[in-house]
Amino acid sequence: MQNHIVHDPNGPDLEFEGELLLKENHHDTGFVEIYKTAGSQYVVKQNLSSRPGSVVLHEVRIYETLRETIESLGFGKGAKSIAALLDCPLTKQLD
């Protein structure tokens, strides 16, 4: 584990010990970084643009579970690809 500082344009920057789980860029989720902290929380940094130079979303969020973290990205192709990379598929089990 190493020390990370995640810069948040909408609030205080986050500093924590942890690991970077994923750094991906998809057309529907944008640029996404997901970290797991030493205390088992998940930090998501997401930047999404509709076109070059136009930022639609620039957020840093904290979640308690990996599933909740991934579901926050939606259910599009990019989110499902990220879920698969983190071995947490976005499927719903039926009886």
The pLDDT tens digits along the chain (95 residues) read 899 999 998 899 999 999 999 999 998 889 999 999 999 999 999 988 766 666 677 899 999 999 999 999 999 999 999 999 999 988 888 98
Q: Where are the domains of the chain?
A: 2-81
The predicted pLDDT at position 33 comes to 97
The predicted pLDDT at position 77 comes to 94
The model's pTM is 0.89
Q: Which stretches of the chain are DSSP H helices?
A: 66-71, 77-85
Partners of 14 in the beta sheet?
6
DSSP letter, residue 3: E
The predicted pLDDT at position 43 comes to 98
